[in-house]
Amino acid sequence: MINDVQPKSAIRIPHSALLYHLCPTAFGYAAILFETDPFLVNRIFLPHLRKSVLKKQIQRTGQAKPGHTPAVLKMCKDIRAYFEGASIKAPWRFLDLSRLTPLQRSVLRAVASVPHGEVRSYGQIAAQVGHPRAARFVGTTLARNPFPVLIPCHRIIRADGSPGGFYGGTGLKKRMILLEKGKS
């Protein structure tokens, strides 16, 4: 049994307004939810073809308003390039990891180390973080990954080679894996 307690820092008083920025991509509109002071990304929303659906998802997170900063525009450019086939690195210093436990953070770091165009199984990631029997924990952590694309949870599949779950649906997961392999 994994005993992974929520860090005390998860209880936060917001320091700045919550903003979002829509990023048009080849797969639809993605979005970045962020704070400005200090600049921290709270969440990345996977692409959707309709802005209205994406905006409804954003509204469920709180009172976010549209906005941008130079760092958000750069991140949006990187996300757009990703959906055109480029690799992308997680900008760790800008990701708000405060709501995650230490073990969840280690899972996300392990997933971020999977190279562009490659896949790993949930079990391989569990072993990499020192908990070889925790494949389900890895799956649960990835189901709640607040930074898809930046932390490529789509690269993690089941041991039998099937895609496994994905917040954006298995069709999008397969499409992203094929994009990375240059077979889009």
Q: Where do the domains of the chain lie?
A: 18-94, 102-180
Concerning whether 23 is annotated as a catalytic residue, the answer is no
Q: What per-residue confidence (pLDDT) applies to 2? A: 58
Rg, Å, the chain Cα set = 16
Q: Which two tokens stand for residue 173?
A: 């997961």
Alpha-carbon distance of 111 to 155, in angstroms, equals 8
Q: Report the pLDDT averaged over residues 21-27.
A: 97
Q: Report the pLDDT averaged over residues 99-124.
A: 97
- Among the listed residues 153, 157, 176, 177, the single catalytic one is 153
- Provide the CATH number for the domain formed by 102-180 in this structure: 1.10.10.10
Assigned CATH class of 18-94: alpha beta
Residue 135 — pLDDT band, cuts 50, 70, 90? very high
Query: Which pTM does this prediction carry?
Result: 0.88
Other beta carbons within 10 angstroms of residue 24's beta carbon come to: 14
Q: Report the pLDDT averaged over residues 160-166.
A: 91
Half-sphere exposure of 181 (CA within 13 A, CB side): 11
